[in-house]
Amino acid sequence: MTKRTDLPALLAEIHRDAQPLFGQGRVADYIPALAEVEPRRFGLAIATVDGQTHSVGDAHTPFSLQSITKLFTFVLALKLEGDAVWQRVGREPSGAAFNSIVQLETENGIPRNPFINAGALVITDILTTRYAHLDYALLGALRRLADEPNLHWNPRVERSERETAHRNMAMAYFMKSHGNFRNEPETVLDNYCRQCATEMSCAQLAQATLFLANDGRDLGRLGEPDEQFLSADATRRVNALLLTCGAYDAAGDFAYRIGLPVKTGVGGGIVAIVPGVATIAVWSPELDAKGNSVLGAFALERLVQGTGWGHTSI
């Protein structure tokens, strides 16, 4: 499947060629704590289903996952609720900004998909009903998947995000007015902002998402057998949604250029799934106009060109 097998050399090339792109984007500044992140950072990590890992640059530096956590909360909700999830959230691309409120009014409070803010708020509402302490339930799942017991959320980022969450709060109350919100919006927003403030490195993120490249199986550790974290059928469906909805209103462009299921975040991270092969996590904080990492998108495009992992992998 690969055009070349020397992944370390390819990663070194990508790291070098990405450097001139610094300055073409800007860090997220609508969340004050994120505005302080050093912009000239770049990390890339690959975890393969046969247990190999490769990394370059700042791949071991923790960063704020932000919307990438929407992937994990959606998976938790799908495990708990199954197809009942689709009674409260759609599975179509939005074609609108990730924090748009316009479609909610015309579509009776049903968000287009789980990966825009409104959809993720509904997913968080579902999980808030099911878990007394959603923050620790999510961290527990991430710690197991990443094989890293010290993962945490950043309290400063959480506070900064919560203090500026006016649009998200408006969406929550609007959906509640349509009967699509069960808990108090303030409680759900607390959980939502805490989950978005979770920090991981590229290396940890690639490991934590490897089950999506492995038919839902989380690789066993220290001689343990694999764990079926998510069914193979549900895994294929999650990857389909990531391909069509995972990059905000740039999902079509990502599918055309990269051809892999992805989830992006305004912290500058992107995770990409190569079914049956590997997961890729890249981080660089400077964002384009649609909230996606400039260097991250470049790196993924170069990687699939160099490996042949793109459109033929799904």
For the annotated binding site, the residues are 67, 117, 161, 168, 192, 248, 266
Please state whether beta strands 262-264 and 269-274 pair in parallel, antiparallel, or not at all (unpaired).
antiparallel
Rounded CA gap, 162 and 150, in Å? 23
Rounded CA gap, 120 and 254, in Å? 21
Rounded CA gap, 248 and 265, in Å? 9
Annotated binding site for substrate: 67, 117, 161, 168, 192, 248, 266
Distance of CA 254 to the CA centre of its chain: 14
Residue with tokens 């989950």: 195
Rounded CA gap, 10 and 201, in Å? 20
User: Torsions phi, psi of 94, nearest 5?
Assistant: -85, -35
| Residue 116 tokens, joined | 């825009």
Angstrom CA distances, 213 to 149, 230, 278, stand at 22, 11, 6
Phi-psi region of 65 (alpha: psi -120 to 50; beta: other; left: phi over 0): alpha
What are the catalytic residues? 67, 70, 192, 248, 266
* Long-range contacts formed by 4-10: CB under 8 A, 24+ apart: 4/306, 4/307, 7/46, 7/54, 7/307, 8/54, 8/56, 10/303, 10/306, 10/307
Residue with tokens 């527990």: 140
Q: Strand locations in the chain, DSSP E?
A: 43-48, 53-57, 63-64, 152-153, 198-200, 217-218, 227-228, 262-264, 269-274, 278-283
Amino acid at 94: S
- 3-class secondary structure, 41: coil
